[in-house]
């Protein structure tokens, strides 16, 4: 992995950095409609945003360097729904194309899962793009149910016990 760190977004600027990564990956690269990418959970106090930064300003990436660091990955964690506080829903996991396969995704997931355990989540649920399911399987997630379409992209449901 390059000189990358992932952490919970501590303020509005870091949240905006996470949103910038999501825009590049989902809206620009994958053609997800902007109206589907952002929702009420983005501003909900129960949602935790995580952002990964690269401290190497010489590495090529889609986003500009600010103060010697560039955002390269993002993800969010929220309760599965407003009435289910024991299940954490992992969403919007995005890594800039030139950083895929470098450990950024794993770093994001490590932060999210630690945060989820600290919040008392007993398990994690996610909807993985089918092409990314192998990544989550390597992290201990298991597929369940049939493949389905979300935002025009094939997905599968996956889950993991928080103690794994």
List domains and CATH numbers for the chain: 4-161 (3.40.630.30)
* Tokens 């990956």 sit on residue: 25
* Tokens 């106090």 sit on residue: 45
Residue 126 CA to residue 156 CA, distance in Å, equals 8
For the cut 80, the answer to whether the pLDDT of residue 154 exceeds it is yes
Percentage of the chain with pLDDT > 90?
Answer: 74
Identify the H or E element spanning 86: strand 84-95
Residue 29 CA to residue 39 CA, distance in Å, equals 19
For the cut 70, the answer to whether the pLDDT of residue 1 exceeds it is no
- Annotate 102-123 with DSSP letters as a single string: TTHHHHHHHHHHHHHHHTT-SE
Contact 77, 160 (CB under 8 A): no
Span 75-109, pLDDT tens digits: 999 999 877 679 999 999 999 999 999 999 999 99
For the cut 90, the answer to whether the pLDDT of residue 33 exceeds it is no
């Amino acid at each position: 992995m390059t000189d990358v760190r992932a952490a919970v977004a501590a303020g509005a600027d870091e949240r905006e950095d996470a949103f910038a990564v999501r825009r590049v990956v989902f809206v620009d690269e994958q053609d997800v409609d902007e109206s589907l990418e952002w929702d009420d959970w983005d501003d909900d106090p129960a949602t935790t945003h995580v952002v990964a930064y690269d401290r190497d300003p010489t590495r090529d990436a889609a986003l500009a360097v600010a103060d010697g660091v560039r955002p390269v990955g993002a993800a969010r964690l929220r309760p599965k729904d407003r009435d289910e506080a024991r299940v954490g829903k992992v969403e919007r996991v995005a890594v800039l194309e030139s950083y895929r396969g470098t450990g950024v995704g794993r770093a994001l997931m490590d932060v999210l899962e630690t945060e989820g355990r600290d919040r008392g989540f007993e398990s994690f649920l996610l909807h993985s793009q089918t092409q990314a399911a192998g990544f989550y399987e390597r992290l201990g997630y298991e597929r369940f149910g049939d493949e389905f379409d979300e935002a025009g992209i094939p997905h599968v449901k996956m889950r993991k016990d928080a103690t794994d």
